[in-house]
Structure 1
Amino acid sequence: MLGADAEPREMSGIPEFLLEVCVLVTAVVSLLTNSSVLLCFCQSSELRSHVPGIFILNLSFSNILLAAVNMPSTFLAVARNGKPFGDAFCQVASFAETFLTTNAMLSMAALSMDRWVAVVFPLSYSSRMRYRDALLIVAYSWLQSLGFALTQLLMDWGGYSHTYASCTLRLQDRSRRVAYATFTALFHSSSFLLCLLVLCFAYLKVLRVARSHCKRIDVITVQTLLLLVDIHPSVKERCLAQQKKRRRRATKKICIFIGSFILCFSPYVITRLVELAPSVHVPRYWGVATKCLTYAKTSSDAFVYCLLRQQYRKVLVSIVCRLLRKNPYPLSAYSTSSTLDTTDDSCTLRVT
């Protein structure tokens, strides 16, 4: 399985066609959405003034390059049932995949830590998370990503894998299986596992603080309503229902952040670790499917972290209106808060 450039077809017909469509659609959506994020930053000085914007830019650039370099090669590999290009390209593509995937994961971890600092330490956020600190975090992310990518390149562990229909990390010389297994385990532990632990720690802390704040505001609101003896009971019920909705909204956002990370990356990472056993053979359709899931994360990141937020939506609407020669509202007319999302509710702490 490892080291083979072409093997007999293990899938054909509808499954192969669906995988081709999945990779193609994911690449197009990822390019469009992440490019939209970059366009928003270029058009809005308010977005550029936020420290988390550095992490978002780093994440978006990684996703765009992954969609432009690795996804097309996977699409061609699935369509041709073999190596899409020559050995030199596969070396570059596998290097890029290791670097960009690690960098993207670390960017997500950095964003989660930024949210944690903003919510848990709101009064000292500006002193705890400065532009210099953000740049140092990005520099560390690049160094770690570059370290694994260069090691893979120097050890000649990058190339075309028929199992995953992509140029990726793979073993060619079976005599170095122990070293390869050690590198693979260390690579996934310091990228996927580390980032998962950081995400869980940061966002669960954010959720606990958000619920605590909402509970305190709920108590004050209920006491205020009880003083208004002439208020209609239906109004009180609506207020209490809205408070419950806000608490559910915060929980839903946290589940999306952590759940999307686990759903998209864990099948691929587990498969790569399981296949280290000599007796394990991974079916090609499963390998390509797990690779498609990791690609899907690049397109969902733009929505999860940016485009579903009001600030980015307003900038996009403004850009579209200008293209259509309409008169939108000014780009500076929206909130610049980095710790609270005050749209339509006053107690849900910003976890996006």
Structure 2
Amino acid sequence: MDTAEAMLCALVVLIILVSLLSNVLVLICFLYNPEIRKQVPGLFTLNLTFCNLLLTVSNMPLTLAGLVNNGVPGGHGVCQTAGFLEIFLSTNSMLSMAALSIDRWVAVVFPLRYHSKMRHRDAAFVLGYTWVHSMSFSTVATCLSWVGYHKVYASCTLSNARASHRTQFVIFTVFFHAFTFLLSFVVLCVTYLKVLKVARFHCKRIDVITMQTLVLLVDIHPSVRQRCLEEQRRRRQRATRKISTFIGTFMLCFAPYVITRIVELFPAVPINPHWGIVSKCLAYSKAACDPFVYSLLRHQYRKTCSDIINRVLKKRSSQNATGPGPRQNQGNCIPSAE
């Protein structure tokens, strides 16, 4: 194993640890806080967390084993199952992100009709579609034996070892990425850009009202006026920053891998194995980013984490306070010398 492969192994281990800890923390918050469970986006977040956790414990360790052993991790059956899960879980996670963006769009654009348009029943229907969509592509690829160990990516994933089915495999690969990555990306862009447009409109209205108030309050202290103007600027930047994070992390993590898989379909273009593994690691890193992008950086989840930590600390402190006191003389039944 050379230095580059050792660094890639360390990167995979880091992604596994961060993804496992962060997604488990999101799951604990979901189970602890009943308010999060009542919200419709919580179902999409739970489905995304489930996909990320399963991908972390099933596919990432096999990729690490493939890097270390420089060969197929496990037997043929294990690799087939891992490849099926990789296609299913990656597709499901992309569609879950698209579902979250649709939920945000409905909440911002139709705030008064949100509870009638996006109920738990509607969310369950959307999740049912994501599962059927994901299961269809993974089942077709497995039944046609287009799932196996791919040396370029050191993982069990979409692969074709038979030259006779090359045309069908190319069509399936293009169709698969068009209806998973491209479809999710288009939904993300359309919905979040509409959300940004509405958010900027509301910010503009608030800014006009604030400026009118500042003009009327001629005796206002300059420091207060400056704080109001700074709050206006932060409000405008906050919405742009959040939406850029949603779309940017999606593209940064998935686009290199998808583009590499499409370029790979042209035999005249060789793919460097190190780059193939890097692109796979970037795709895996989305499972580690999602808990922070969609959950842990939100106020509700931060407060839940703080409540859990405080509860654990209070429980420990109470156990220490009620523990055994200083040892006393237990020889009272023995007569004293007096």
TM-score, normalised with respect to structure 2: 0.92
Determine if the alignment matches structure 1 residue 230 to structure 2 residue 219: yes
2:300 to 311, 314, 337: 311
Answer with 140-149 or 227-236: which moved more: 227-236
2:13 to 24, 45, 57: 24
Determine if the alignment matches structure 1 residue 289 to structure 2 residue 278: yes
Determine if the alignment matches structure 1 residue 161 to structure 2 residue 155: no
Hey, what does 1:219 align to over in structure 2? 208
Please state whether the residue corresponding to 1:159 is helix, strand or coil.
Answer: strand
Determine if the alignment matches structure 1 residue 325 to structure 2 residue 314: yes
Q: C-alpha separation between the residues in 1 aligned to 2:37 and 2:227?
A: 38
Q: Deviations over 1:127-178 (max 9, x none)?
A: 0101110000000000000000000110000011110000000011111000
Quote the offset at 1:233 in angstroms: 2.2
Determine if the alignment matches structure 1 residue 83 to structure 2 residue 69: no
Quote the offset at 1:27 in angstroms: 0.9
Hey, what does 1:43 align to over in structure 2? 32
Answer with 229-238 or 164-173: which moved more: 229-238
Query: What are the within-5 Å matches in structure 2 for residues 245-324 of structure 1?
Result: 245-324=234-313
Please state whether the residue corresponding to 2:111 is helix, strand or coil.
Answer: coil
Q: C-alpha separation between the residues in 2 aligned to 1:203 and 1:326?
A: 43
Quote the offset at 1:180 in angstroms: 0.2
* Greater fraction of residues in helix: 2
Q: How many residue pairs get matched?
A: 316
Q: Which has the larger radius of gyration?
A: 2
Amino acid at match of 2:51: S
Q: C-alpha separation between the residues in 2 aligned to 1:280 and 1:244?
A: 47
| Uncovered stretches (5+) of structure 2, i.e. residues with no partner | 317-338
CA RMSD of aligned residues (A): 1.0
- Identity of paired residues, percent? 54
Q: C-alpha separation between the residues in 2 aligned to 1:229 and 1:168?
A: 67
Q: Deviations over 1:65-86 (max 9, x none)?
A: 0000000000111111111111
Amino acid at match of 1:49: K
Q: C-alpha separation between the residues in 2 aligned to 1:291 and 1:148?
A: 19
Q: C-alpha separation between the residues in 1 aligned to 2:236 and 2:208?
A: 14
Q: C-alpha separation between the residues in 2 aligned to 1:150 and 1:182?
A: 16
Please state whether the residue corresponding to 1:31 is helix, strand or coil.
Answer: helix
Hey, what does 1:140 align to over in structure 2? 129
Please state whether the residue corresponding to 1:168 is helix, strand or coil.
Answer: strand
1:120 to 109, 114, 139: 109
Q: Which has the higher contact order (CA 8 A, sep 6+)?
A: 1
Q: C-alpha separation between the residues in 1 aligned to 2:143 and 2:260?
A: 24
Hey, what does 1:179 align to over in structure 2? 168
Hey, what does 1:57 align to over in structure 2? 46
Q: C-alpha separation between the residues in 2 aligned to 1:286 and 1:133?
A: 41
* Runs of 4+ more than 3 Å apart: none
Quote the offset at 1:326 in angstroms: 5.8
Quote the offset at 1:277 in angstroms: 1.1
Amino acid at match of 2:232: Q
Q: Deviations over 1:183-224 (max 9, x none)?
A: 000100000000000000011111111010011011001111
Amino acid at match of 1:226: V
Q: C-alpha separation between the residues in 1 aligned to 2:315 and 2:214?
A: 44
Q: C-alpha separation between the residues in 2 aligned to 1:114 and 1:210?
A: 15
Q: C-alpha separation between the residues in 2 aligned to 1:285 and 1:225?
A: 58
Determine if the alignment matches structure 1 residue 198 to structure 2 residue 187: yes
Determine if the alignment matches structure 1 residue 239 to structure 2 residue 228: yes
Amino acid at match of 1:99: F
Q: C-alpha separation between the residues in 1 aligned to 2:267 and 2:2?
A: 30
Hey, what does 1:72 align to over in structure 2? 61
TM-score, normalised with respect to structure 1: 0.88
1:150 to 131, 139, 160: 139
Q: C-alpha separation between the residues in 2 aligned to 1:170 and 1:261?
A: 23
Quote the offset at 1:13 in angstroms: 2.3
Hey, what does 2:159 align to over in structure 1? 170
Please state whether the residue corresponding to 2:267 is helix, strand or coil.
Answer: coil
| Uncovered stretches (5+) of structure 1, i.e. residues with no partner | 1-11, 328-352
